[in-house]
Amino acid sequence: MPRSLKKGPFLDLHLLKKVEKAVESGDKNQLKLGPVVQ
């Protein structure tokens, strides 16, 4: 079931920190976020 547009995207804080760190360093490699559970 998709997330409601009203609620906005889900961003966990530890994932946001990883993204910010990659942007600051200019890293173009794909982030490894662990297994995807559905």
Higher pLDDT, 35 or 14: 14
pLDDT at residue 14 in the model: 85
pLDDT digits (tens, 9 = 90+) for 10-34: 778 888 888 888 888 887 777 776 6
Cα gap 5→15, rounded to integer Å: 20
Confidence of residue 6 (pLDDT cuts 50, 70, 90): confident
21 to 14, 16, 17, 32: CA distances (angstroms): 11, 9, 6, 13
| pLDDT (0 to 100) of residue 29 | 79
